[in-house]
A and B are shown apart, each in its own frame.
Chain A
Amino acid sequence: MSEIIKNLLDYLQFPFVQYALIAGTLIALCSSLLGVTLVLKRYSLIGDGLSHVAFCAMACALPLHMTNDMPLTLLLTIACAVLLLRSGRNTRFTGDAAVAMISVASLALGYLIINLCASSANVSADVCSTLFGSTSILTLTPVKVWLCVALSVVVVTFFVLFYHKIFAVVFDEEFARATGVRVEMYNLLLAIVIAVVIVLAMNLVGSLLISALVVFPALSALRVYKSFLSVTICSVVVSVLGTLLGIIISILSGTPVGVTIVAVDLAVFILFCIIGACKGK
Chain B
Amino acid sequence: MKTLQYILFLSLIALLLASCGGAPQKSTTANDTNTPAAEVDMTTMSKTMVYSEINFMRSNPERYMGKTIRVEGIMEYNPLLHRRYCVIADATACCSVQLEFVLKGDHSHPFLNALDSQNMQLPGANEITPQPDPQNGSKIVIQGYFQTFQEREKQSVILTDALYCH
Contact = CB atoms under 8 A, between A and B. Distances in A.
Nearest to A245: B20
Given A250-B91, A274-B9, A135 B56 contact: no
Contact of B13 (A14, A124, A252, A267): A267
B135 interface: no
Given A135-B51, A254-B46, A257-B48, A128 B94 contact: yes
Given A4-B23, A252-B23, A267-B17, A125 B94 contact: yes
A181 interface: no
Nearest to A15: B56
Contacts of B20: 249, 253, 260, 263-264
Interface residues of B, number: 32
Nearest to A138: B52
A132 to B, nearest CB: 6
Contacts of A135: 48, 51-52, 55, 90-91, 95
A251 B10 contact: no
What secondary structure prevails in chain A residues at the interface with B? Answer: helix
A141 interface: yes
A24 B156 CA distance: 30
B99 to A, nearest CB: 15
A253 B94 contact: no
Contacts, number: 100
Interface in B46-98: 46-49, 51-53, 55-56, 59, 90-92, 94-96
Interface of B is mostly: helix
Given A141-B59, A249-B20, A254 B94 contact: no
B14 to A, nearest CB: 10
B16 interface: yes
Interface in B1-49: 2, 5-6, 9-10, 12-13, 16-17, 20-25, 45-49
Given A3-B25, A253-B22, 5 more contacts: A15-B56, A129-B94, A134-B94, A251-B52, A253-B23
27 contacts: A4-B23, A14-B49, A14-B53, A15-B56, A17-B49, A17-B52, A124-B94, A125-B96, A128-B94, A129-B95, A132-B92, A134-B91, A135-B48, A135-B51, A135-B95, A139-B52, A252-B46, A254-B47, A254-B49, A254-B91, A255-B48, A260-B20, A264-B20, A270-B13, A271-B13, A273-B9, A274-B9
Interface of A: 3-4, 7, 11, 14-17, 122, 124-125, 128-129, 132, 134-135, 138-139, 141, 249-257, 260, 263-264, 266-267, 270-271, 273-274, 277-278
| Nearest 9 Cβ contacts at the A-B interface | A254-B46, A128-B94, A254-B47, A138-B52, A125-B95, A134-B92, A256-B91, A253-B23, A139-B55
